[in-house]
Amino acid sequence: MRWLYGVLPGPPAVKVVLIVLIVLVALVLLGLLFEWAGQFLDTGGTLALLSFQS
Amino acid sequence: MVTVGALLVAFLAYQLVFTNVLGERSQKAAEPALQQRYATAEIEVADTIPVAPPTTTTMPEGTTTTTQVVEAARYTEPAPDAGTPFGEIAIPSIGLDKVLFEGVDVATLKKGPGHMPWTPLPGQPGNAVVSGHRTTYGAPFFDLDKLKNGDQIIVTTALGKSVYEIRRTIIVAPTDVWVTQEMQGAWLTLTTCNPKYSARERLIVQAALIEGPNYLYVETERQRGLQGAS
């Protein structure tokens, strides 16, 4: 986080806003990744012509 | 290595803890809509069939009397909207009691067990299919492998209570859609992932209707079918 703070441009307030935005985007992407990977754990038991298809 | 480990722990926490909290929350949130459906759904008689043929008796004085024909009715309820709660499923032997939703899309199954919309509603003749998560989103079907033949499944809808008795449990491939095919009588088919923590196979539980508003209709139809076949 310190490294990120150091490389971001602008005054301290802008850097903090950018870090918050980056963290939020990273969390959303992580959530999407977890949802996708979750299909291999449990699809909800649906049956389909293709595996892992709901 | 530490980052990969942390991601793995976060993934497991997300799937096995966070999604279960979300699932339980969805179940509680569905209660008011479910009670509303129970109170407002209009039950109709879709069809009637005679239970026994009418008999005519000639009296000694020459008059004839015809016995009242008892009829079995098939009751129906309105089709629920996609994604909405429409009933409850209870399996006492494994302590399961969940709200049932209409649909098997990803979003609906996150709320609880879902009914495949192209199959009859539970309580109706045919093969009603319900799918549910095994280990995530409330894990409604976590203990489905512990069920034995003869165990009961109770489904409550606006129609009333329909009791099913388990007749078979099988493991199939995720592509074995034949388990959802139409069947003679009234059946309930439950589908979930197998083994636990894997979507490699499907665990299928099939149960026959033994009690409920449409039981007399289903049984009468079955016996007529048997008579027709012999």
Domain assignment of residue A20, given as a range: 2-31
Residue B55 pLDDT greater than 90, yes or no: no
Residues of B with CB under 8 A from a CB of A: 7, 10-11, 14-15, 19, 104-106, 109-110, 114, 131-137, 141, 173-177, 179-180, 190-193, 197-199, 202-203
Q: Amino acid identity of B144?
A: L
Q: Could B193 and A52 be called an inter-chain contact, meaning their C-beta atoms sit closer than 8 Å? A: no
Residue A11 located in a structural domain? yes
Contacts of A31 in chain B (CB under 8 A): 14
Judge whether A52 lies within some domain: no
Average pLDDT score over chain B? 92
Nearest-Cα distance to chain A for B51, in Å, is 37
* Average pLDDT of the segment spanning B58-70: 73
For residue A49, being part of any structural domain is answered with no
CATH (residue range B2-42+80-222): 2.40.260.10
What is the pTM assigned to this prediction?
A: 0.85
DSSP state, B4?
Answer: H
Contacts for B113 with CB less than 8 Å, ≥ 6 apart: B89, B98, B100, B101, B130, B131, B132, B140, B141, B190
The mean pLDDT of B77-88, rounded to a whole number, is 96
**How many separate domains does chain A show?**
1
pLDDT tier, B17 (very low <50, low <70, confident <90, very high otherwise): confident
Mean pLDDT for the stretch of residues A34-46: 89
* CA–CA min distance B135, chain A (Å): 7
Residue A37 domain-assigned? no
User: Is the pLDDT reported for residue B223 higher than 60?
Assistant: yes
Domain contains A12:
yes
Distance CA B84, CA B81 (A): 6
User: What are the pLDDT digits (tens) for B21-30?
Assistant: 999 999 999 9
Determine the average pLDDT of the residues in B91-96: 97
- Provide the angle, in degrees to the nearest 10, between the axes of the packed helices A12-38 and B2-13: 60
